[in-house]
Amino acid sequence: MSLPLLKVFTKANWKLWSIFTGILLMYMVILIFSFDQIKEAMNALEGGTNPEILGISFPMNSRFDLLAGMYFDMLIFMFPMVFYIMLANKLVSKSVDDNSMSAHLSSSLSRRKYTTTAALFLTLSLVAMFFVVFAVGGLCLIAFETIDWLNWTNLVLTTLTCTLAIAALCFFFSTVFAANKTGTIFLVGIPIAFIMFTWLGEMPSLDFLKYLTPIGYIDTVKIGYGLENLWWLINLVFIVVASVLYFVSIKIFDKKQLSI
């Protein structure tokens, strides 16, 4: 790892990180403060109309339930996904295309050290983003209700490790297809396919699709209620997957034939 390079990455990308972190916080705060209105809409639909018309198919007795069933079910994956797709592409593939990586490598910095630092920066960026969500969300929730901090921690942690695994896959595509324009199809297309399969998997006839994605194996409502006994195993699998993808990415890029 190169500390000076890590500082360069931070200086070049802190605005992008701030924008997407701000978007995540904005939606979360809106949901927390709009709970009463959403609850009233639910009550208005009682007596014959299915509440799923609002996209709500989970118990909603508190703001915590609302976040577990709506925010952490999909929103927490969508916005960071745009961020790490852009960042993974910028750190490796785009840096090869615009020759900015050459400048770093010419200063006695090896490819392995460069990609290791890039992988670490991508990981730390997402960890920092989710930590802010954890802290701000927790503080907002306790202003209205008592929450189970263990369940809140598990909820944020599990969605984080899943995000890290998909981000590592994007980093893998960025390194493997560096200097190859067609690599963008995989870098962008696969994560978006995960989101689409998860959405379509909510339909009873297509429920098998959600199990083609990492997101589909996470039941945020069960985690929120403390009913997911295997949450630790799910996190472990995601961490192992991310670690393996980063390791393979660094190895492949180190041996890749590139004019840099």
Rounded to whole angstroms, the Cα distance separating 58 from 68 reads 9
pLDDT of 227: 82
Q: In the predicted model, what is the mean pLDDT of residues 235-250?
A: 95
pLDDT of 51: 47
pLDDT of 54: 46
Contacts of 19 (CB under 8 A, 6+ apart): none
Rounded to whole angstroms, the Cα distance separating 181 from 92 reads 13
Rounded to whole angstroms, the Cα distance separating 240 from 221 reads 24
Query: 216, 234 in Cβ contact below 8 A?
Result: no
pLDDT digits (tens, 9 = 90+) for 184-194: 788 889 999 99
Rounded to whole angstroms, the Cα distance separating 250 from 175 reads 8
At 102, list the tokens: 């050459």
Distances from the Cα of 58 to the Cαs of 126, 146, 148, 215, 220, in angstroms?
A: 27, 20, 18, 17, 10
| 3-state SS class at 97 | helix
pLDDT digits (tens, 9 = 90+) for 40-84: 777 676 554 444 444 445 567 789 988 988 899 889 999 999 999
Who has greater pLDDT, 98 or 223? 223
Q: Examine the pLDDT at 17 and tell me if it is beyond 80.
A: yes
Query: 89, 176 in Cβ contact below 8 A?
Result: no
pLDDT digits (tens, 9 = 90+) for 206-233: 888 888 899 988 988 888 888 878 888 9
Place of tokens 């299915």: 50
pTM: 0.88
pLDDT digits (tens, 9 = 90+) for 107-163: 677 888 888 999 999 999 999 999 999 999 999 999 998 899 999 999 999 999 999
